[in-house]
Amino acid sequence: MSFRAWYTVHKWTSLIATLFLLMLCLTGLPLIFSHEISHALGTSADPPQLAPGHTGRASIDAIVADAQARRPQDVLQFLVAEADEPDLIYVRMADRIDSPGLTAFYTYDARTGQFLSEYPLGQGFMDVMLRLHVDMYMGLGGTLFLGLMGLLLAASIVSGIYVYGPTMKKLRFGSIRRDRASRLKWLDQHNLLGMVTLVWLLVVGVTGTINALNQPIFAAWQASELKALAEPFRGQPPVTGPVSTEAALKAALAAAPGKSLSFMAYPGNDFATPQHFMAFMQGDTPLTSKLLSIVMIDARSGQVVTTGEMPWYVSTLMLSQPLHFGDYGGMALKVLWLVLDLLSIWVLWSGLVLWWKRRHVTAEQRQKALQGMPEQVTG
């Protein structure tokens, strides 16, 4: 492709996506520290201090019974755990077992069974930031649209490398022509910071696009692997009445040594079968804690039916989600993500400024530039 073609690609992919990317960068700033902000706002509970030497664990059945008693009109959907909060357990409830929405998200002390908090669903600052970042309150259509903006970002970055290439032959890397026209200073800053943030922007753009496919990816797993697991039991009646969550969890932990629970779906949920619990287990290292294996447990007997690994496309999604928000290397990586996010906001903003300034370059100035006149009107 010619320089002009690369420039056209860079210009239009940037213009189309920039406003949405600015919104994503701005809303992504607090989401990088979502865990810390939720604790500061009081919407996420810390496990209380217990007496030294306390090593017991609460009855999971007692915990889910307490949750059910708080909302007797609703049903249990998921039991959820987090690798970095081993002393907490979460119970998710909904009006129906297969409902995509939820009515309550309770936090319990996994050591004592004490109820700690109810997460405020659909309200608060962090919820607004998350919804804007994920789907702009437009559901799956909004999510897929933002995924498309991630692809445009990747195209803008690749084309920007080719556009910046000829400039690199004339200038030392990192040069800012402060003694020239203001537009050239903006251009040099835009190019410099664009190169500094290039890899990071590619990473968050690509992982953001993968994350936008969250629903289609799990729908593919449900329609293939999960359907195949459920097929031998298709003629059996669904489980009704009380079942033991604790027995299912103990069976899952025994079947997956060295792993802990990420979440467990109740029978009848879209992530399980009508007769079985489905436990999704995670490893104990920074990498394997982001990957999932499955344990299928008979809800009536509490016996493990089968175990397995999630397919590659689900694993790709699981790895991309924490990488998108810098959730791999503790606080140091989050701070780095913050700095790169702020620099990216400046790159996007300076790109808009350059486009706006270029619109006001006169035809006479353009003609002079083409004839080799002063380059402050080029770029």
- For residues 155 and 258, state if they share a domain: no
**Are residues 201 and 228 located together in one domain of the fold?**
no
Q: Do 320 and 221 fall into the same domain?
A: yes
Q: What is the pLDDT of residue 6?
A: 86
Residue 261 included in any domain:
yes
SS3 track for 347-364: HHHHHHHHHHHHHCCCHH
Identify whether residues 25 and 164 lie together within a single domain.
yes
Does 148 fall in a domain? yes
Residues 338 and 366 in one domain: yes
Last residue of a domain, one of 282, 302, 324: 324
CA distances from 27 to 145, 151, 249, 303 (A): 16, 19, 36, 44
Q: Are residues 228 and 107 in the same domain?
A: yes
Domain check: are 143 and 219 in the same one?
A: no
Whether 48 is in a domain gets the answer no
Residues 139 and 265 in one domain: no
How far apart CA 234 and CA 239 sit, in angstroms, is 12
Residues 228 and 109 in one domain: yes
Please check whether residue 23 lies inside any domain of the structure.
yes
52 occurs within a structural domain: no
Report d(CA 370, CA 379) in Å as an integer.
Answer: 11
pLDDT at 48: 82
Tokens of 236: 């059996």
Q: Which residues contact 224 (CB under 8 A, 6 or more apart)?
A: 311
Residue with tokens 């190169």: 195
Q: How many CB atoms lie within 10 A of CB 234?
A: 10
C-alpha 175/C-alpha 59 separation (Å) is: 64
Is residue 112 in a domain?
yes
Task: Give long-range contacts, CB 8 A cutoff, 24+ apart: 53-62.
Answer: 54/111, 56/111, 56/112, 57/110, 57/111, 58/108, 58/109, 58/110, 58/111, 58/112, 58/113, 58/114, 59/113, 59/246, 60/89, 60/245, 60/246, 60/249, 61/244, 61/245, 61/246, 62/113
Q: Assess whether 69 and 116 both reside in one domain.
A: yes
In the chain, the number of structural domains is: 2
Global pTM reads 0.83
In a domain, 105, yes or no: yes
- pLDDT of res. 362: 47
- Quote the domain boundaries for residue 107: 57-125+213-324
Residues 222 and 317 occupy one common structural domain: yes
- 78 is a domain residue: yes
Give the model's pLDDT for residue 374.
40
Q: Is residue 276 a contact partner of residue 297, using CB atoms and an 8 Å limit?
A: yes
pLDDT given for residue 354 in this prediction: 79
DSSP 8-state secondary structure symbol assigned to residue 46: P
User: Which positions ≥6 away from 44 have C-beta within 8 Å?
Assistant: 35, 38, 107, 117, 119
The whole-angstrom separation of Cα 340 and Cα 142 is: 25
Please identify, among 283, 300, 324, the residue that sits at the C-terminal boundary of a domain: 324
> Are 185 and 141 members of one domain?
yes
Q: Domain boundary at 306, 324, 342, which?
A: 324
Residue (of 89, 96, 101) closest to 61 by Cα position: 89
pLDDT, one tens digit for every residue, the chain (379 residues): 787 888 889 889 988 999 999 999 999 999 999 888 888 887 777 788 887 877 789 999 999 999 999 999 999 999 999 888 889 999 999 999 989 889 999 999 999 999 999 988 888 888 999 999 999 999 999 999 999 999 999 998 888 888 776 666 666 665 666 656 666 776 777 777 777 888 899 999 999 999 999 999 999 999 999 999 999 999 899 998 889 999 999 999 999 999 999 999 999 999 999 999 999 999 988 788 889 999 999 999 999 999 999 999 999 999 998 888 887 767 888 899 999 999 999 888 888 887 777 765 544 444 444 344 344 333 3
pLDDT at 26: 94
> For residue 95, what is the DSSP state?
S
Residues with Cβ < 8 Å from 111, sequence gap 6 or more? 47, 50, 54, 56, 57, 58, 87
